[in-house]
Amino acid sequence: SQTIHQWPATLVQPVGSPLSLECTVEGTSNPNLYWYRQAAGRGLQLLFYSVGIGQISSEVPQNLSASRPQDRQFILSSKKLLLSDSGFYLCAWDGGQGAPEAFFGQGTRLTVV
Amino acid sequence: AQSVSQHNHHVILSEAASLELGCNYSYGGTVNLFWYVQYPGQHLQLLLKYFSGDPLVKGIKGFEAEFIKSKFSFNLRKPSVQWSDTAEYFCAVTLGYGQNFVFGPGTRLSVLP
């Protein structure tokens, strides 16, 4: 069966520090991968999505970047965190053709102090 | 660009009351529709989905949703809510296989015991 791993579960980082959140998917190949942010009172916001290795699309210009070094690995990064980067970050995948529903990781609660 | 709106930001109900959460989308073509739920402290889970066929879809935990194409709507219903239904509910749309999801802003449901 397919599973998705996302870590860490919680993270407290000072302003100006770097960020790296990792997400890996097991049990499937060539998934579409997504990074979402869930800010308080604002619902889910799509940050990045990827349809293949090295292919990243950004939905919102911001302080964050994403990379997909391997087929089932998706990384969310920042060189210098801002207070406004605080939120709940979710990784998700879907199988593209044949399996259009999305499956979500457990999420990372990021607090920038 | 397609978008999804949810009518209510926060709904408060007493146990045994009936529930209807509105969802409208802004795309005129064929869509796949979903309702996701996020219970406090847990990750997103799929409640139900519509791909084609019978527009009345039954999901888990007694939830159902009706797709009305002429109204671009996919409202979520439950005849009698329980305290355990307290959660945030997200409507989502995808244009089909390999297309990224668009989520609504979410509706927070609070059920009073």
DSSP string, B61-111: GG-EEEEEGGGTEEEEEESS--GGG-EEEEEEEE-STTPPPEE---EEEEE
Query: What distance in Å separates residue A30's CA from the closest CA in chain B?
Result: 11
pLDDT digits (tens, 9 = 90+) for B34-79: 999 988 877 788 899 898 889 999 998 999 999 999 999 999 999 9
Query: What distance in Å separates residue B65's CA from the closest CA in chain A?
Result: 16
Mean pLDDT on A82-100? 81
Mean pLDDT on A76-95? 91
Best mutation target among A10, A44, A103, A104 (most B Cβ atoms within 10 Å) is A44
Mean pLDDT on A108-112? 93
**Residues of A contacting chain B (CB within 8 angstroms):** 32, 34, 36, 41-44, 46, 49, 51, 90, 92, 94, 96-98, 100-102, 104-107
Residue A93 identity: W
Q: Which residues 5-44 in chain B show a CB within 8 A of chain A?
A: 9, 32, 34, 43-44
Query: What distance in Å separates residue A16's CA from the closest CA in chain B?
Result: 28
Q: Are strands A73-78 and A87-94 parallel, antiparallel or unpaired?
A: unpaired
Which residues, listed in sequence order, are joined to residue B93 by a DSSP beta bridge? Answer: B33, B102
pLDDT surpassing 60 at residue B13: yes
pLDDT digits (tens, 9 = 90+) for A5-64: 998 989 999 999 999 999 999 988 888 898 998 876 566 788 998 988 998 888 776 789
Residue B96: what pLDDT? Answer: 64
pLDDT digits (tens, 9 = 90+) for B70-107: 999 999 999 999 999 999 999 998 876 556 678 898 99
